[in-house]
Amino acid sequence: MNKIIKYVILDILKNRIVIGYALLLLCMSLSVFNMETDTSKGLLSLLNVILIIVPLVSIIFSTIYIYNASEFIELLVSQPLKRKNIWLSLVAGLGLSLSLAFIGGCVLPILIYNGNGTGIMIASMGIILTVIFVAIAALSAVYTRDKAKGIGVSILLWLFFTLLYDGLVMFLLFQFMDYPVEKGLVAVSMLNPVDLSRIMILLKLDISALMGVTSAVFKSFFGQSWGMILSISVMLLWVIVPLSLSVKKFKIKNL
Amino acid sequence: MKYLILITCCLLAFHSLSAKVTTIKGENGISLQQVINDAAAGDSIILEGGRFQIASTITISKPLFLIGKNSPVIDGGNKYEIMVISSDFVIIQGLHFLNSGKSGYEDIAALRILNSGNILIRDNYFENCFFGIYGQHAHNTTIANNRFKANGFDEISSANGIHCWKSDHMLILNNRISGHRDGIYFEFVTESTIRGNISTNNVRYGLHFMFSHNNWYLGNSFTDNGAGVAVMYSKGVHMHNNLFARNWGNAAYGILMKDISDSRVENNIFSQNTASIYMEGSNRITIRHNQFKNNGWAVKIQASCTDNIINENNFSGNTFDIATNGSLQLNNFTGNYWDKYEGYDLDRDGKGDIPFRPVSIFSMIVERNPATLMLFRSFMVGLMDKAEKVFPGITPEALKDDTPFIRPLAFNPPAL
Amino acid sequence: MIIATNVTKQYGKLKALDDVSVTCNRGQSISLIGPNGSGKTTFIKCLLGMVVPDSGFITFDKQNIAKDWKYRQHIGYMPQTGRYPDNMTIDQLLRMMKDIRKPFNPVFDNELFESFDLGKISNKRMSNLSGGTRQKVSASLAFLFQPQVLILDEPTAGLDPVASEILKEKIRKEKEKGKLILITSHILSDLDDIITEVIYLQDGRLVFHKSLENLKKDTGKDRLSGAIASVMSKIQTR
């Protein structure tokens, strides 16, 4: 399994897009930190990068890569290798190399300019989001045979998690305005990894007091260690569930 | 007021000609009340350190100078109101008031001023007391350089540091108050000056007043209080050169103004407050030359406020600069510096050529439904705000700054 | 060695394999024959586990391959059109494959690689290779690990006559070693002297599985191509 990961990573790192992605992130973080005099403000600007660009690049690149690797997958499947291992290695290779690009482009500048708890939180959320969206890409690529359709599905999923879901939440919040929905909000935030990581970062940035009653619920939930453990487990579930679904499908997929 | 102080001084000086000085040391068996009873009006009693355990409230009903040296402790044993002054011309200086009684239904104070004036209370230390100084119908009294330290943790078990009720011409100067319910509390207090005090880490408000007209608040620092500062039902309030900082939390305010009118808020610094100014039913207030830095909301102005002037302030690093709940705006926001302004200045007059709208659509939504703050900084909210900037539809049409400054304004920093 | 029992595979409405049962034994070299779209490639892919049958099962050395993956160490597969990662060079591809199969097949057979003279272009990227050269690479890979079973899907298609001859020679050699060889090919004349058995598929169904001798006897033809032609015409007239 390690061998396949190695070959996948070598192949991806040869790909100019990942290098370009790392450089883009690096340019963004350096300019953000050098332009803002206040580094915590810089972190806030980076927040958008992490919540929008990281999922977008992770999901689109992974989907395209998986489709382009169909020959490679075919070759491997005819070899004495477990299908599950082939698939997991492919996803792991993607996750690792995209995380590597993110670490080089964002995490290092963050640690250099603002290596406090918030910085570490933002960095780790970026890495988790990268892996989550690679897993989601794997799911959409394994279920759709047609490349164009698969990429379309991935873009839609990205749009859903970064934009449409929040629109839906806002709609529901106004529908149920007169009810005590605070506790439900915690559950709602769990259903979207982008929202969950955004809220976790914002609570770390201590903007929480803004949120009134809602934040009191959030703070008391995420502030406790079990709340933190639960949110991290939910994030991991966001990796595990799409991944295991895709493995299940890949095991019986016709190549 | 100065005139009154002068008279006080003359009278005191006149008294001292015939006055005698008694020196005692706090030991077991010495009754401070007895010593006070034995003294004649205008006498001085010097407490040379030690500890006075009291068995009942000490009352001072004649002009007297009570001077502590080496901070003599007057211990209320967690039972009694420690001292009541019901005479004019009293000086209390250098004492250490410890452990006043506490009560859920009585206002027990370390030091109560009852229906009297021309009193000077200075350099005392009030430790673990319920009310610190309680001015009841006090007038022309100076409370200076005292330290108040209590360990209140909720609003029931704690009381106010400096509490004045139906008083006037008070001078509250350079005191440091922490751990009380409200640091400084005024009700029906007029013509008073509150200057250079530091009120911090109090359970509820750093400063709290109601029905207190024509008072001056200068160079104070109200920081880290549970709910910041609340001022209500008053007019002629002058707040200059104060610092309102880190009043951070659910329903915490730099200043909460409710039914305040004809007042001025100038040259203050508001930093890291959840809402640095919250205005409700307030009219004709001038807010100028203030710095609003890194607050959640810089100014939350309800639609019930009219004719307020907010100009020549610096707004920077605030999550929301202005929030309001109505579409009608009768206040003036002209000529401020906003760090979120993205306009240009072609004619180089230092003022932007296009108006700035400090109210974002998201702040309007949050105002209507606070739970939506969960979507703060999401992609969708960003898009909505951008769209609203291009095609304003929901934000109040009139709430805009036609001549926003391009660069931050330079003010003299408040002297604290 | 390989036993397929009632294997059925359906793509949408199209039945690619319909209740196919065959037995292949060591030492046989079997030709899979049938018109285009008769299910030859699907059958091979089922053997390799690349396609999972809807029903029926396949055993390899009495082991069901559905849950197994190790049996593939005994198989060398040469696909119809070799598709390889574009960014890899021949050399890297070979090294990767050796790396993957080393635990199972530590001894390599470089004969085809050398006779095709692939060494001098080993730094070329797979994407830059011609179809024929790719076939050469595929063939080299199939024989590289000295597998007991060789599955060759259209092995000579796209090869020049010289390379084709080299490959056939190699197949013959391996056959003599007693390996099971499965070949699909259009060009029947290629196969005459190699194969011992014929499996004929049409529309996903097994039409017959006979030894070459029996087939010749039954049809009265002495060449494979003639025998098959007569079979095909017979089926069509039926």
Residue B369 in any domain: the answer is no
Whether CATH 3.40.50.300 fits C2-237? yes
Is the pLDDT at A98 greater than 60? The verdict is yes
The pLDDT value recorded for residue B309 is 95
Residue B404 lies in a domain: no
Which domain, by its residues, includes B147? 2-212
**Cα–Cα dist B275/B300, whole Å:** 7
For residue A118, the distance in angstroms to the closest alpha carbon of chain B comes to: 16
Whether residue A204 lies within 8 A of chain B, CB to CB, comes out as no
Q: For residue B157, is it within any domain?
A: yes
The pLDDT assigned to B413 comes to 58
In chain A, which residues have their Cβ closer than 8 Å to the Cβ of C75?
Answer: 78
Mean pLDDT of chain A: 87
The CATH number linked to B13 is 2.160.20.10
Which tens digit of pLDDT belongs to each residue from B351-362? 999 999 898 888
Please report whether residue B120 resides in a domain. yes
- Could B377 and A211 be called an inter-chain contact, meaning their C-beta atoms sit closer than 8 Å? no
Q: Is the confidence at residue B2, as pLDDT, over 70?
A: no
Determine whether the interchain pair C84/A72 forms a contact, defined as Cβ–Cβ distance below 8 Å: yes
B and A: touch, per 3+ CB pairs < 8 A? yes
> If you average pLDDT over every residue of chain B, what do you get?
90
Three state DSSP letters for chain B: CHHHHHHHHHHHHHHHCCCCEEEEEECCCCCHHHHHHHCCCCEEEEEEEEEEECCCCEEECCCEEEEEECCCEEECCCCCCCEEECCCCEEEECCEEECCCCCCCCCCEEEEEECCECEEEECCEEECCCEEEEEECCECCEEECCEEECCCCCCCCCCCCEEEEEEECCEEECCEEECCCCCEEEEEEECCEEECCEEECCCCEEEEEECCCCEEEECCEEECCCCEEEEEEEECEEEECCEEECCCCCCCEEEEEEEEEEEEEECCEEECCCEEEEEECCEEEEEECCEEECCCEEEEECCCCEEEEEECCEEECCCEEEECCCCCCEEECCCCEECCCCCCCCCCCCECCCCECCCCHHHHHHHHCHHHHHHCCCHHHHHHHHHHHHCCCCCCCCCCECCCECCCCCCCCCCC
The model's pLDDT over A154-172, given as tens digits with 9 standing for 90+, comes to 999 999 999 999 999 999 9
Report, as an integer, the average pLDDT of B29-37.
89
What are phi and psi for residue A125, nearest 5 degrees? -65, -40
- What is the C-alpha to C-alpha distance for residues C138 and B307, in angstroms, rounded to an integer? 85
Distance CA B224, CA B120 (A): 29
How many beta-carbon pairs below 8 A join chains A and C?
65
Nearest CA in chain C to A84: C69
pLDDT band at C217 (very low <50, low <70, confident <90, very high): confident
User: What is the reported pLDDT for A211?
Assistant: 52
Higher pLDDT, B217 or B373: B217
Residue B28 domain-assigned (yes or no): yes
Indicate contact of B with C: 3+ CB pairs under 8 A. Answer: no
Is B387 within the bounds of a domain?
A: no
- Structural domains in chain B (count): 1
pLDDT in tens, B364-413: 888 888 888 888 888 898 888 888 877 777 788 888 899 999 999 987 65
Residue B18: the pLDDT is: 66
| Chain C residue with minimum CA distance to A4 | C100
Mean pLDDT confidence for C8-32: 89
C76-95 tens-digit pLDDT: 999 888 888 777 889 988 98
Q: Is the pLDDT of residue A6 over 90?
A: no
B172 assigned to some structural domain: yes
- Which of A86-90, A210-214, B106-110, B160-164 has the weakest average pLDDT? A210-214
Q: Which of A3, A70, A253 sits opposite C100 (nearest CB)?
A: A3
What interface predicted TM-score (ipTM) does this complex get?
0.85
Domain ranges in chain C are: 2-237
Q: Cβ contacts (< 8 Å) between A177 and chain B: which residues? A: 369, 371
| Probe site for chain A from C7, C41, C52 (most A CB atoms < 10 A) | C52
| List of chain A residues whose C-beta atoms are within 8 Å of the C-beta of residue B386 | none
Note the pTM of the prediction, 2 decimals.
0.80
* Each residue's pLDDT tens digit, B133-167: 999 999 999 999 999 999 988 888 899 999 999 99
C51 contact residues in A (CB cutoff 8 A): 254-255
